[in-house]
Protein backbone atom coordinates (compact mmCIF):
# COMPACT_ATOMS: atom_id res chain seq x y z
CA UNK A 1 0.00 0.00 0.00
CA UNK A 2 1.36 3.44 -0.91
CA UNK A 3 2.09 5.94 1.86
CA UNK A 4 -0.66 8.31 0.70
CA UNK A 5 -3.21 5.48 0.57
CA UNK A 6 -2.19 4.36 4.04
CA UNK A 7 -2.57 7.87 5.41
CA UNK A 8 -6.06 8.29 3.91
CA UNK A 9 -7.14 4.90 5.26
CA UNK A 10 -5.88 5.80 8.73
CA UNK A 11 -7.65 9.16 8.82
CA UNK A 12 -10.90 7.53 7.71
CA UNK A 13 -10.58 4.77 10.34
CA UNK A 14 -9.87 7.24 13.17
CA UNK A 15 -12.80 9.44 12.14
CA UNK A 16 -15.22 6.52 11.96
CA UNK A 17 -13.97 5.19 15.30
CA UNK A 18 -14.46 8.55 17.00
CA UNK A 19 -18.02 8.91 15.66
CA UNK A 20 -18.97 5.36 16.72
CA UNK A 21 -17.44 5.84 20.17
CA UNK A 22 -19.33 9.11 20.74
CA UNK A 23 -22.62 7.52 19.72
CA UNK A 24 -22.07 4.51 22.00
CA UNK A 25 -21.27 6.62 25.07
CA UNK A 26 -24.04 9.20 24.70
CA UNK A 27 -26.92 7.10 23.40
CA UNK A 28 -26.26 3.66 24.82
CA UNK A 29 -23.86 3.27 27.75
CA UNK A 30 -24.61 6.63 29.37
CA UNK A 31 -28.38 6.07 29.09
CA UNK A 32 -28.30 2.54 30.60
CA UNK A 33 -25.83 3.42 33.37
CA UNK A 34 -27.34 6.76 34.31
CA UNK A 35 -24.00 8.50 34.00
CA UNK A 36 -23.56 12.21 34.59
CA UNK A 37 -21.83 14.44 32.04
CA UNK A 38 -18.54 14.02 33.91
CA UNK A 39 -19.01 10.28 33.96
CA UNK A 40 -19.66 10.29 30.22
CA UNK A 41 -16.39 12.14 29.60
CA UNK A 42 -14.45 9.74 31.79
CA UNK A 43 -15.96 6.72 30.02
CA UNK A 44 -15.29 8.22 26.57
CA UNK A 45 -11.69 8.93 27.54
CA UNK A 46 -11.15 5.38 28.77
CA UNK A 47 -12.65 3.82 25.66
CA UNK A 48 -11.00 6.37 23.34
CA UNK A 49 -7.49 5.32 24.28
CA UNK A 50 -7.80 2.48 21.78
CA UNK A 51 -8.55 4.92 18.94
CA UNK A 52 -5.72 7.17 20.11
CA UNK A 53 -3.29 4.22 20.23
CA UNK A 54 -4.28 3.28 16.66
CA UNK A 55 -3.59 6.84 15.47
CA UNK A 56 -0.15 6.89 17.18
CA UNK A 57 0.79 3.54 15.62
CA UNK A 58 -0.27 4.77 12.19
CA UNK A 59 1.84 7.91 12.60
CA UNK A 60 4.88 5.81 13.55
CA UNK A 61 4.44 3.54 10.52
CA UNK A 62 4.28 6.48 8.10
CA UNK A 63 7.34 8.08 9.75
CA UNK A 64 9.35 4.86 9.40
CA UNK A 65 8.33 4.56 5.74
CA UNK A 66 9.60 8.07 5.08
CA UNK A 67 12.96 7.24 6.66
CA UNK A 68 13.21 3.98 4.72
CA UNK A 69 12.35 5.58 1.35
CA UNK A 70 13.19 9.28 1.57
CA UNK A 71 12.36 11.54 -1.36
CA UNK A 72 15.66 12.50 -3.03
CA UNK A 73 16.52 16.14 -3.59
CA UNK A 74 16.10 17.14 -6.32
CA UNK A 75 13.36 14.66 -7.23
CA UNK A 76 14.60 11.62 -9.09
CA UNK A 77 11.76 12.02 -11.56
CA UNK A 78 11.33 15.17 -13.63
CA UNK A 79 8.53 17.51 -12.62
CA UNK A 80 5.59 18.65 -14.72
CA UNK A 81 6.12 17.93 -18.39
CA UNK A 82 5.96 20.25 -21.35
CA UNK A 83 5.27 18.53 -24.68
CA UNK A 84 7.97 18.47 -27.35
CA UNK A 85 8.99 16.11 -30.11
CA UNK A 86 8.72 12.91 -28.03
CA UNK A 87 5.33 13.72 -26.50
CA UNK A 88 3.60 11.15 -28.71
CA UNK A 89 5.00 8.46 -26.39
CA UNK A 90 2.57 9.49 -23.64
CA UNK A 91 -0.45 8.33 -25.66
CA UNK A 92 1.04 5.06 -26.90
CA UNK A 93 0.97 1.69 -25.12
CA UNK A 94 4.01 0.80 -23.05
CA UNK A 95 6.97 0.11 -25.32
CA UNK A 96 8.75 -3.23 -24.82
CA UNK A 97 12.52 -3.23 -24.36
CA UNK A 98 14.56 -6.42 -24.11
CA UNK A 99 17.39 -5.80 -21.70
CA UNK A 100 19.92 -8.67 -21.57
CA UNK A 101 21.74 -8.79 -18.25
CA UNK A 102 24.85 -10.58 -19.41
CA UNK A 103 27.82 -9.49 -17.29
CA UNK A 104 30.23 -10.34 -20.12
CA UNK A 105 28.81 -7.56 -22.27
CA UNK A 106 28.60 -3.79 -21.75
CA UNK A 107 25.31 -2.88 -20.13
CA UNK A 108 22.92 -0.13 -21.11
CA UNK A 109 23.50 2.72 -18.67
CA UNK A 110 19.84 2.59 -17.60
CA UNK A 111 20.40 -0.87 -16.12
CA UNK A 112 23.05 0.49 -13.77
CA UNK A 113 21.79 1.60 -10.36
CA UNK A 114 21.99 5.33 -9.70
CA UNK A 115 23.58 5.85 -6.30
CA UNK A 116 22.47 9.47 -6.35
CA UNK A 117 22.39 9.99 -2.60
CA UNK A 118 25.98 8.79 -2.20
CA UNK A 119 27.56 10.21 -5.36
CA UNK A 120 30.79 12.09 -4.61
CA UNK A 121 31.66 15.07 -6.81
CA UNK A 122 35.39 15.54 -7.43
CA UNK A 123 37.62 18.22 -8.92
CA UNK A 124 40.12 17.45 -11.67
CA UNK A 125 43.75 17.03 -10.51
CA UNK A 126 46.21 19.73 -11.58
CA UNK A 127 48.54 17.15 -13.12
CA UNK A 128 47.93 14.00 -15.14
CA UNK A 129 49.60 10.71 -14.12
CA UNK A 130 52.17 9.08 -16.37
CA UNK A 131 53.23 5.43 -16.73
CA UNK A 132 56.55 4.35 -15.24
CA UNK A 133 57.81 3.59 -18.72
CA UNK A 134 57.25 7.15 -19.91
CA UNK A 135 58.04 9.72 -17.24
CA UNK A 136 57.10 13.29 -18.08
CA UNK A 137 60.09 15.61 -18.46
CA UNK A 138 60.36 19.14 -19.83
CA UNK A 139 62.60 18.08 -22.76
CA UNK A 140 60.29 15.21 -23.69
CA UNK A 141 57.24 17.47 -23.58
CA UNK A 142 58.97 20.02 -25.83
CA UNK A 143 59.88 17.27 -28.31
CA UNK A 144 56.35 15.89 -28.23
CA UNK A 145 54.89 19.32 -28.88
CA UNK A 146 57.09 19.75 -31.94
CA UNK A 147 56.02 16.35 -33.28
CA UNK A 148 52.37 17.13 -32.54
CA UNK A 149 52.50 20.17 -34.83
CA UNK A 150 54.79 18.70 -37.50
CA UNK A 151 53.03 18.29 -40.88
CA UNK A 152 55.90 16.23 -42.23
CA UNK A 153 54.55 13.26 -40.28
CA UNK A 154 51.73 12.93 -42.84
CA UNK A 155 52.22 11.25 -46.22
CA UNK A 156 51.81 14.44 -48.29
CA UNK A 157 53.19 16.74 -45.56
CA UNK A 158 49.91 18.66 -45.28
CA UNK A 159 48.53 17.48 -41.93
CA UNK A 160 49.76 17.22 -38.35
CA UNK A 161 48.14 15.85 -35.23
CA UNK A 162 47.13 19.45 -34.50
CA UNK A 163 45.14 19.64 -37.75
CA UNK A 164 42.31 17.63 -36.16
CA UNK A 165 43.16 18.56 -32.57
CA UNK A 166 43.54 22.33 -32.44
CA UNK A 167 45.00 23.25 -29.06
CA UNK A 168 46.56 26.62 -29.90
CA UNK A 169 43.33 28.35 -30.78
CA UNK A 170 40.61 25.76 -30.51
CA UNK A 171 38.80 23.22 -28.37
CA UNK A 172 41.28 20.39 -28.90
CA UNK A 173 39.15 19.08 -31.78
CA UNK A 174 38.41 20.44 -35.27
CA UNK A 175 34.70 21.23 -34.77
CA UNK A 176 33.83 19.33 -37.94
CA UNK A 177 31.20 16.60 -38.08
CA UNK A 178 33.86 14.04 -39.02
CA UNK A 179 37.63 14.24 -39.40
CA UNK A 180 39.24 15.39 -42.65
CA UNK A 181 42.44 13.65 -43.75
CA UNK A 182 45.02 13.98 -46.50
CA UNK A 183 43.77 14.73 -49.97
CA UNK A 184 40.50 16.09 -48.58
CA UNK A 185 39.32 12.61 -47.54
CA UNK A 186 36.55 12.59 -44.98
CA UNK A 187 36.37 9.98 -42.24
CA UNK A 188 33.22 8.60 -40.66
CA UNK A 189 33.84 9.60 -37.03
CA UNK A 190 34.07 12.84 -35.12
CA UNK A 191 37.44 14.01 -33.79
CA UNK A 192 37.40 13.86 -29.97
CA UNK A 193 39.07 16.68 -28.07
CA UNK A 194 42.60 16.01 -26.88
CA UNK A 195 42.14 18.21 -23.81
CA UNK A 196 42.07 15.97 -20.70
CA UNK A 197 42.55 12.85 -22.84
CA UNK A 198 45.41 12.08 -20.46
CA UNK A 199 42.84 10.99 -17.87
CA UNK A 200 41.04 8.51 -20.15
CA UNK A 201 41.69 4.80 -19.67
CA UNK A 202 40.90 3.96 -23.30
CA UNK A 203 41.11 6.11 -26.42
CA UNK A 204 39.29 6.41 -29.76
CA UNK A 205 35.51 6.26 -30.01
CA UNK A 206 35.57 2.46 -29.98
CA UNK A 207 38.09 2.29 -27.13
CA UNK A 208 40.62 0.27 -29.12
CA UNK A 209 43.69 2.01 -27.65
CA UNK A 210 44.61 1.46 -24.01
CA UNK A 211 47.05 4.39 -23.67
CA UNK A 212 48.03 7.71 -25.17
CA UNK A 213 51.19 6.06 -26.48
CA UNK A 214 49.17 3.47 -28.37
CA UNK A 215 46.67 6.03 -29.61
CA UNK A 216 49.38 8.32 -31.01
CA UNK A 217 50.40 5.69 -33.57
CA UNK A 218 46.97 5.15 -35.09
CA UNK A 219 46.32 8.38 -37.06
CA UNK A 220 49.85 8.34 -38.53
CA UNK A 221 49.14 5.25 -40.65
CA UNK A 222 45.37 5.58 -41.08
CA UNK A 223 44.82 6.00 -44.86
CA UNK A 224 41.94 8.43 -44.19
CA UNK A 225 43.98 10.58 -41.81
CA UNK A 226 47.75 11.17 -42.10
CA UNK A 227 48.21 8.29 -44.54
CA UNK A 228 51.81 7.17 -43.89
CA UNK A 229 52.35 3.73 -45.47
CA UNK A 230 53.81 2.20 -42.28
CA UNK A 231 55.17 3.02 -38.86
CA UNK A 232 58.64 2.28 -40.23
CA UNK A 233 58.07 5.04 -42.80
CA UNK A 234 57.19 7.41 -39.94
CA UNK A 235 60.50 6.59 -38.24
CA UNK A 236 62.39 7.25 -41.46
CA UNK A 237 60.62 10.57 -42.01
CA UNK A 238 61.63 11.78 -38.54
CA UNK A 239 65.24 10.55 -38.94
CA UNK A 240 65.53 12.59 -42.13
CA UNK A 241 65.42 15.75 -40.01
CA UNK A 242 68.88 16.39 -38.45
CA UNK A 243 67.37 18.55 -35.69
CA UNK A 244 65.23 15.63 -34.54
CA UNK A 245 68.24 13.37 -34.23
CA UNK A 246 69.83 15.74 -31.72
CA UNK A 247 66.61 16.16 -29.76
CA UNK A 248 65.92 12.42 -29.54
CA UNK A 249 69.49 11.82 -28.38
CA UNK A 250 69.03 14.37 -25.59
CA UNK A 251 65.64 13.01 -24.49
CA UNK A 252 66.10 9.25 -24.93
CA UNK A 253 69.89 8.90 -24.81
CA UNK A 254 70.34 7.46 -28.31
CA UNK A 255 69.81 8.40 -31.97
CA UNK A 256 67.81 5.39 -33.15
CA UNK A 257 64.46 7.25 -33.28
CA UNK A 258 61.90 4.47 -32.98
CA UNK A 259 58.14 4.70 -33.28
CA UNK A 260 57.91 3.89 -29.58
CA UNK A 261 59.98 6.99 -28.79
CA UNK A 262 57.93 9.14 -31.17
CA UNK A 263 54.67 8.00 -29.56
CA UNK A 264 56.11 8.43 -26.06
CA UNK A 265 57.09 12.04 -26.76
CA UNK A 266 53.68 12.91 -28.25
CA UNK A 267 51.92 11.25 -25.28
CA UNK A 268 54.11 13.18 -22.81
CA UNK A 269 53.04 16.44 -24.45
CA UNK A 270 49.37 15.44 -24.44
CA UNK A 271 49.56 14.76 -20.69
CA UNK A 272 50.12 18.49 -20.19
CA UNK A 273 46.85 19.36 -21.95
CA UNK A 274 44.53 19.44 -18.93
CA UNK A 275 41.95 22.00 -17.81
CA UNK A 276 41.27 21.93 -14.05
CA UNK A 277 40.12 25.58 -13.96
CA UNK A 278 36.36 25.45 -14.47
CA UNK A 279 33.56 27.00 -12.39
CA UNK A 280 32.63 23.43 -11.38
CA UNK A 281 36.16 22.75 -10.09
CA UNK A 282 36.17 26.01 -8.12
CA UNK A 283 32.80 25.06 -6.59
CA UNK A 284 33.94 21.59 -5.53
CA UNK A 285 37.16 23.02 -4.09
CA UNK A 286 35.15 25.31 -1.81
CA UNK A 287 34.04 28.41 -3.74
CA UNK A 288 30.29 28.09 -3.20
CA UNK A 289 29.64 31.18 -5.34
CA UNK A 290 31.21 29.65 -8.45
CA UNK A 291 27.98 28.16 -9.84
CA UNK A 292 24.88 30.09 -10.83
CA UNK A 293 21.42 28.96 -9.65
CA UNK A 294 20.58 27.34 -13.01
CA UNK A 295 23.90 25.47 -12.94
CA UNK A 296 23.20 24.19 -9.44
CA UNK A 297 19.77 22.99 -10.53
CA UNK A 298 21.37 21.33 -13.54
CA UNK A 299 23.97 19.69 -11.32
CA UNK A 300 21.17 18.18 -9.23
CA UNK A 301 19.36 16.92 -12.32
CA UNK A 302 22.61 15.57 -13.78
CA UNK A 303 22.81 13.39 -10.68
CA UNK A 304 19.17 12.48 -10.14
CA UNK A 305 18.20 11.51 -13.70
CA UNK A 306 21.23 9.22 -13.98
CA UNK A 307 23.82 11.08 -16.11
CA UNK A 308 26.37 10.23 -13.41
CA UNK A 309 25.96 6.52 -14.20
CA UNK A 310 28.32 7.02 -17.15
CA UNK A 311 29.71 10.55 -16.88
CA UNK A 312 31.20 10.24 -13.42
CA UNK A 313 34.45 11.03 -11.67
CA UNK A 314 36.67 14.11 -12.02
CA UNK A 315 36.80 13.75 -15.83
CA UNK A 316 33.05 13.08 -16.19
CA UNK A 317 33.64 9.74 -17.88
CA UNK A 318 33.56 6.20 -16.51
CA UNK A 319 36.17 5.44 -19.20
CA UNK A 320 38.80 7.19 -17.13
CA UNK A 321 41.75 6.39 -14.90
CA UNK A 322 39.67 7.31 -11.84
CA UNK A 323 36.93 4.74 -12.43
CA UNK A 324 36.57 0.97 -12.07
CA UNK A 325 33.39 0.84 -14.16
CA UNK A 326 33.05 -0.50 -17.68
CA UNK A 327 34.57 1.97 -20.14
CA UNK A 328 32.16 1.07 -22.96
CA UNK A 329 28.38 1.40 -23.16
CA UNK A 330 25.64 0.39 -25.56
CA UNK A 331 24.41 3.43 -27.50
CA UNK A 332 21.63 4.07 -28.20
CA UNK A 333 20.35 1.75 -25.49
CA UNK A 334 16.66 2.50 -26.13
CA UNK A 335 14.82 2.93 -29.44
CA UNK A 336 13.77 6.51 -30.14
CA UNK A 337 13.11 8.57 -33.28
CA UNK A 338 16.51 10.18 -32.72
CA UNK A 339 18.46 7.17 -33.95
CA UNK A 340 16.96 7.47 -37.43
CA UNK A 341 17.01 11.25 -37.56
CA UNK A 342 20.71 11.43 -36.64
CA UNK A 343 21.89 8.07 -38.08
CA UNK A 344 23.09 6.93 -34.66
CA UNK A 345 23.14 3.19 -35.48
CA UNK A 346 24.83 3.20 -38.90
CA UNK A 347 28.21 2.71 -37.23
CA UNK A 348 28.35 0.02 -34.53
CA UNK A 349 31.67 1.06 -32.96
CA UNK A 350 33.16 -1.72 -30.85
CA UNK A 351 30.14 -3.98 -31.42
CA UNK A 352 30.27 -6.76 -33.99
CA UNK A 353 29.60 -5.69 -37.55
CA UNK A 354 25.87 -5.68 -38.28
CA UNK A 355 24.87 -5.23 -34.64
CA UNK A 356 21.59 -3.42 -34.08
CA UNK A 357 23.13 -1.29 -31.32
CA UNK A 358 26.58 0.24 -31.20
CA UNK A 359 29.10 0.01 -28.36
CA UNK A 360 31.12 3.14 -27.65
CA UNK A 361 33.63 4.57 -25.22
CA UNK A 362 32.15 7.07 -22.78
CA UNK A 363 33.54 10.49 -23.71
CA UNK A 364 34.51 13.11 -21.16
CA UNK A 365 32.09 16.02 -20.82
CA UNK A 366 34.72 18.55 -19.87
CA UNK A 367 34.64 21.55 -22.23
CA UNK A 368 31.69 19.92 -23.99
CA UNK A 369 30.13 23.34 -24.65
CA UNK A 370 33.14 24.11 -26.88
CA UNK A 371 33.43 20.84 -28.80
CA UNK A 372 30.32 20.68 -31.00
CA UNK A 373 29.25 18.83 -33.07
CA UNK A 374 28.46 15.84 -30.88
CA UNK A 375 28.37 12.01 -30.89
CA UNK A 376 30.57 9.60 -32.80
CA UNK A 377 29.28 10.79 -36.16
CA UNK A 378 29.11 14.51 -35.34
CA UNK A 379 25.47 14.63 -36.41
CA UNK A 380 24.22 16.94 -33.66
CA UNK A 381 25.49 20.50 -33.36
CA UNK A 382 23.24 21.70 -30.53
CA UNK A 383 24.00 20.87 -26.89
CA UNK A 384 20.34 21.09 -25.83
CA UNK A 385 19.46 18.49 -28.46
CA UNK A 386 22.36 16.28 -27.37
CA UNK A 387 21.00 16.30 -23.79
CA UNK A 388 17.52 15.34 -25.01
CA UNK A 389 18.97 12.49 -27.06
CA UNK A 390 21.02 11.12 -24.17
CA UNK A 391 18.11 11.39 -21.72
CA UNK A 392 15.79 9.48 -24.06
CA UNK A 393 18.06 7.07 -25.95
CA UNK A 394 20.47 6.22 -23.14
CA UNK A 395 18.56 6.73 -19.90
CA UNK A 396 15.03 6.07 -21.14
CA UNK A 397 13.50 9.37 -19.99
CA UNK A 398 10.89 9.42 -22.74
CA UNK A 399 7.84 7.51 -21.62
CA UNK A 400 6.71 4.12 -20.31
CA UNK A 401 8.68 0.92 -20.86
CA UNK A 402 8.25 -2.78 -20.23
CA UNK A 403 11.71 -4.22 -19.59
CA UNK A 404 12.27 -7.97 -19.79
CA UNK A 405 15.24 -9.60 -18.05
CA UNK A 406 15.89 -12.84 -19.90
CA UNK A 407 18.28 -14.03 -17.19
CA UNK A 408 15.97 -13.45 -14.23
CA UNK A 409 12.68 -13.92 -16.12
CA UNK A 410 11.34 -10.68 -14.67
CA UNK A 411 9.15 -8.15 -16.45
CA UNK A 412 9.42 -4.64 -15.03
CA UNK A 413 7.32 -1.59 -15.88
CA UNK A 414 9.27 1.66 -15.87
CA UNK A 415 7.68 5.05 -16.15
CA UNK A 416 10.30 7.66 -17.07
CA UNK A 417 8.72 11.00 -18.04
CA UNK A 418 10.63 12.99 -20.62
CA UNK A 419 12.65 15.96 -19.42
CA UNK A 420 10.99 19.35 -19.63
CA UNK A 421 12.54 22.14 -21.67
CA UNK A 422 13.48 23.93 -18.44
CA UNK A 423 15.23 20.84 -17.09
CA UNK A 424 17.17 20.50 -20.34
CA UNK A 425 18.24 24.14 -20.11
CA UNK A 426 19.38 23.65 -16.51
CA UNK A 427 21.47 20.58 -17.40
CA UNK A 428 23.03 22.49 -20.30
CA UNK A 429 23.80 25.36 -17.92
CA UNK A 430 25.66 22.91 -15.69
CA UNK A 431 27.58 21.52 -18.67
CA UNK A 432 28.74 25.06 -19.42
CA UNK A 433 30.20 25.08 -15.90
CA UNK A 434 32.59 22.34 -17.09
CA UNK A 435 34.25 24.80 -19.49
CA UNK A 436 37.80 25.82 -18.64
CA UNK A 437 38.10 29.56 -18.00
CA UNK A 438 41.59 29.76 -19.50
CA UNK A 439 40.69 27.66 -22.54
CA UNK A 440 37.58 29.73 -23.24
CA UNK A 441 39.56 32.96 -22.97
CA UNK A 442 42.36 31.57 -25.13
CA UNK A 443 39.88 30.62 -27.85
CA UNK A 444 38.31 34.10 -27.81
CA UNK A 445 41.72 35.74 -28.15
CA UNK A 446 42.68 33.39 -30.99
CA UNK A 447 39.51 34.26 -32.91
CA UNK A 448 40.20 37.97 -32.47
CA UNK A 449 43.69 37.63 -33.97
CA UNK A 450 42.64 35.64 -37.02
CA UNK A 451 42.34 37.45 -40.32
CA UNK A 452 38.75 38.07 -41.50
CA UNK A 453 39.08 35.23 -44.03
CA UNK A 454 40.29 32.79 -41.41
CA UNK A 455 37.64 33.90 -38.90
CA UNK A 456 34.96 33.32 -41.52
CA UNK A 457 36.26 29.83 -42.30
CA UNK A 458 36.47 29.05 -38.58
CA UNK A 459 32.86 30.13 -38.02
CA UNK A 460 31.67 27.92 -40.85
CA UNK A 461 33.29 24.85 -39.29
Cα first-last separation, the chain? 57
Note the helical H segments in 98-230.
Answer: 138-148, 161-164, 212-221
* Residue 359 DSSP one-character state: E
The side-by-side arrangement of strands in the sheet containing 95-98 is 95-98, 399-405, 410-416
Answer whether 267's CB lies under 8 Å from 144's CB.
yes
Give the span between the Cα atoms of 363 and 378, in whole angstroms.
Answer: 13
Element (H, E) at 414: strand 410-416
247 classed as catalytic? no
Answer whether 10's CB lies under 8 Å from 58's CB.
yes
Give the span between the Cα atoms of 96 and 104, in whole angstroms.
Answer: 23
Q: Which of 145, 225, 323, 423 is catalytic?
A: 225
Which candidate, 432, 442, 447, 336, places its Cα nearest to that of 384? 432
Answer whether 343's CB lies under 8 Å from 377's CB.
yes
Give the span between the Cα atoms of 249 and 114, in whole angstroms.
Answer: 51
86 Cβ neighbours under 8 A, 6+ residues apart: 336, 337, 388, 392, 398, 399, 418
Which candidate, 373, 268, 279, 362, places its Cα nearest to that of 320? 362
Element (H, E) at 56: helix 37-68
Is the Cα dihedral 105, 111, 117, 123 positive or negative? positive
Residues taking part in catalysis = 225
Amino acid sequence: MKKLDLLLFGISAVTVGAVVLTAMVRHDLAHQGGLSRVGQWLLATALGTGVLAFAVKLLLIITLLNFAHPTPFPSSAPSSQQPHELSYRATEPARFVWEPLDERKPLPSRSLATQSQHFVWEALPFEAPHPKSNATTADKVALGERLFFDRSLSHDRTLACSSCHDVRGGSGADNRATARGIGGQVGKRNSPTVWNAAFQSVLFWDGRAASLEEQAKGPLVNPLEMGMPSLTAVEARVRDNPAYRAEFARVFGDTRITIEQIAAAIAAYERTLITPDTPYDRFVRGDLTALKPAQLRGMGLFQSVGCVNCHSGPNFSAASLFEQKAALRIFPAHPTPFETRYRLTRDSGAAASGSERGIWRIPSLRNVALTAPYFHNGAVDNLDEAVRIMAAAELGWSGQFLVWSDRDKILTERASPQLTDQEVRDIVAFLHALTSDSLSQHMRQARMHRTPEVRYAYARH
